Amino acid sequence: MAPFLVLLLAGVVTASRGDREPVYRECVSSCEQRNCTGSRLQDFWAEQPLYMRLTGWVCLDDCRYQCMWHTVYLYIKEGYAVPQFHGKWPFFRFLFFQEPASALASFLNGFANLVMLRRYRASVPASCPMYHTCLTFAMVSINAWFWSTIFHTRDTAITEKMDYFCASAVILHSIYLCCMRTLGLRYPSFATAFGAVLVVLFACHVSYLTLGRFDYSYNMLANASFGMVNLVWWLAWCLKRRSHQPYLWKCVLVVVLLQSLALLELLDFPPFLWVLDAHALWHFSTIPLNVLFYSFLKDDSLYLLKVNSVLKVD
Ligand SMILES: [Zn+2]
């Protein structure tokens, strides 16, 4: 296995009520001794499907998975609330997908971005002043959904960080897109300077979360703050211009819904049918918003072209 892959697949260690439970710990320890040593380990490797090996599932992971369900069964039988394990709810594993619903929703978000990017490129000429900024935004978004799909397929220390960092990059790029659209077309050097500030901010954000222990509270607060700047800036501009550009309702709806739907994350309930949790619901809910946002970007780019051709200014 390549060193990068080993790093990528190194497990995440986060403690939760379920994995602190003595029944679970004893189950994992005896399963590991029984199945993950000597000839039984050889049998495990021989019997394990190739796709599981390629995605880094090892004998200990299988022990944890089986013991998790054993513990959940005991909790439910005794009338206790379902606990989390290693920072996650119990999810049914489908093939090598650790959280199938969130992985599928992330893939569909990425696919929606790809389809809408193609449509955007087909209907907007490259001469449009916002064309390249919109294209970069699409690339940053597709990259984020790619890592989200990987992370929900296989949660490791590296895939988790990539998911978080790439998601932050999308919000920051959306702020840049807003700056470019609202001020940058008239004051290009301001947009360039502001873009540089955002790059430095992103580098500091990533460094802080990488060099020390991953600070989940800070990460959530930082993303919520970036999201709020994005929401207020887009909203203020859209409301001011709504009488000239009727299609701006699309942008208003997207930024308001994006911020509101993020509250779904606060509904932290055990997965429905052990598949669908609040996080997956949130990812599914953003799929149509991608379509609407690209539709806004297309309308706005065509509007800019029309206005520029008449007045030569925005
Ligand atoms: Zn996610």
Which CATH number goes with the domain that contains 175?
1.20.1070
Q: What is the pLDDT of residues 256-311, one digit of tens each?
A: 998 888 887 777 788 888 988 989 999 999 999 999 999 999 999 999 988 877 76
Look up the domain containing 23 and give its range: 3-77
Q: Which of 43, 77, 111 is the last residue of a domain?
A: 77
Do 60 and 178 fall within a single domain? no
Give distance in angstroms: CA of 281 to centre of ligand 1: 10
Give distance in angstroms: CA of 148 to centre of ligand 1: 6
Do 126 and 235 fall within a single domain? yes
If you average pLDDT over residues 44-55, what whole number do you get? 83
Task: Say if CB 83 and CB 17 are below 8 A apart.
Answer: yes
Q: Would residue 288 count as lying in a domain?
A: yes
Distance CA 171, CA 221 (A): 13
Do 294 and 208 fall within a single domain? yes
Task: Say if CB 31 and CB 67 are below 8 A apart.
Answer: yes
Burial 9-19 (b: 16+ CB within 10 A, else e): beebebeeebb
Do 168 and 245 fall within a single domain? yes
Do 10 and 118 fall within a single domain? no
Q: Would residue 182 count as lying in a domain?
A: yes
Q: Would residue 165 count as lying in a domain?
A: yes
Give distance in angstroms: CA of 165 to centre of ligand 1: 12
Give distance in angstroms: CA of 308 to centre of ligand 1: 40
Do 255 and 176 fall within a single domain? yes
- CA 82 to chain CA centroid, nearest Å: 25
Question: CA triplet 226, 230, 233: central angle to 5 degrees?
Answer: 135
* Structure token pair of residue 198: 């955002």
Distance CA 7, CA 70 (A): 30
Number of domains in the chain: 2
| pLDDT at residue 280 in the model | 92
Do 110 and 152 fall within a single domain? yes
Do 65 and 110 fall within a single domain? no
Q: Would residue 62 count as lying in a domain?
A: yes
Give distance in angstroms: CA of 95 to centre of ligand 1: 19
Do 186 and 229 fall within a single domain? yes
The separation between the first and the last C-alpha atoms of the chain, rounded to the nearest angstrom, is: 55
Do 192 and 233 fall within a single domain? yes
Distance CA 303, CA 218 (A): 39
Q: Would residue 290 count as lying in a domain?
A: yes
Three-state secondary-structure class, residue 93: coil
Please determine, for residue 219, whether its predicted confidence score (pLDDT) is greater than 60.
yes
Selected residue with higher pLDDT from 105 and 79: 105
Do 72 and 106 fall within a single domain? no
Give distance in angstroms: CA of 77 to centre of ligand 1: 31
Do 183 and 300 fall within a single domain? yes
Give distance in angstroms: CA of 211 to centre of ligand 1: 23
Give distance in angstroms: CA of 141 to centre of ligand 1: 13
Q: Which of 29, 46, 77 is the last residue of a domain?
A: 77
Q: Would residue 147 count as lying in a domain?
A: yes
Nearest CA among 264, 268, 270, 281 for reference residue 101: 281
Q: Would residue 89 count as lying in a domain?
A: no
Q: What is the pLDDT of residues 17-49, one digit of tens each?
A: 777 778 888 898 888 888 888 888 778 787 888
Give distance in angstroms: CA of 164 to centre of ligand 1: 8
Q: Would residue 94 count as lying in a domain?
A: no
* Structure token pair of residue 106: 């992330």
